[in-house]
């Protein structure tokens, strides 16, 4: 359940017009962001809305909304700390998602979907796949997510097999 304070925080952030204002300019864009972020928080109550400065690869800075917190992937693995940034051109540009390694969950070397800095890459978030206003049909998204998971599982199976073979030879 989304808390009233989270909804109030999002609404206040999107209506701010001071020098600390967010980098979202269009009224329609703000309405979509409010709707999508509220929906995300509804589905993932372990995430919290926040505002911070985002630094792009070209060193430009923007004030953006983000949702940060922990995701529980399975009952047997530790929660994963993530931050989901809403790009200044959202929803025309995909969210930017970072995994934050900590003592409980580390990023595996050569992870197929997370680079060494924590930036994630997924077929769903690629510029060529991300679509607005006609977002991809949910069945296609599910297929892409399933493909991502299968690819990741194969990667780890190969890595484990390779490590086991090297240990047996040595």
Classify 55 in phi/psi space as left (phi over 0), alpha (psi -120 to 50) or beta.
Answer: beta
CA distances from 15 to 25, 26, 30, 135 (A): 10, 11, 9, 26
State the pTM of this model.
0.69
The hierarchical CATH code for the domain 4-169 is 3.10.110.10
Helix (H, G, I), strand (E, B) or coil at 100: strand
Average pLDDT over the chain, rounded to whole?
Answer: 77
* CA angle, 152 then 126 then 6, to 5°: 90
Domain ranges of the chain: 4-169
Residues 6+ apart with CB under 8 A from 126: 94
What digits encode the pLDDT tens for the residues 6-20? 999 999 999 987 767
Q: Which two tokens stand for residue 103?
A: 């003592």
What digits encode the pLDDT tens for the residues 101-158? 776 666 666 766 777 676 777 665 555 566 665 554 444 455 555 556 666 556 555 6
């Amino acid at each position: 359940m989304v808390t009233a304070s989270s909804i109030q925080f999002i609404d206040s952030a999107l209506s701010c017009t001071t020098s600390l204002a967010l980098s979202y300019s269009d009224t329609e864009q703000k309405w979509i962001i409010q709707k999508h972020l509220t929906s995300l928080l509804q589905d993932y109550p372990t995430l919290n809305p926040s505002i911070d400065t985002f630094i792009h690869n070209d060193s430009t800075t923007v004030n953006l909304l983000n949702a940060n917190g922990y995701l529980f992937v399975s009952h047997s693995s530790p929660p994963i700390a993530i931050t989901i940034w809403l790009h200044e051109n959202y929803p025309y540009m995909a969210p930017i998602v970072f995994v934050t390694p900590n003592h409980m969950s580390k990023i595996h070397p050569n992870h197929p979907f997370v680079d060494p800095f924590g930036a994630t890459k997924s077929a769903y978030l690629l510029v060529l796949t991300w679509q607005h206003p006609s977002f991809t049909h949910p069945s296609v998204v599910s297929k892409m997510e399933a493909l991502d998971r299968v690819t990741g599982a194969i990667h780890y199976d190969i890595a484990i097999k390779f490590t086991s073979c090297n240990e047996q030879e040595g």
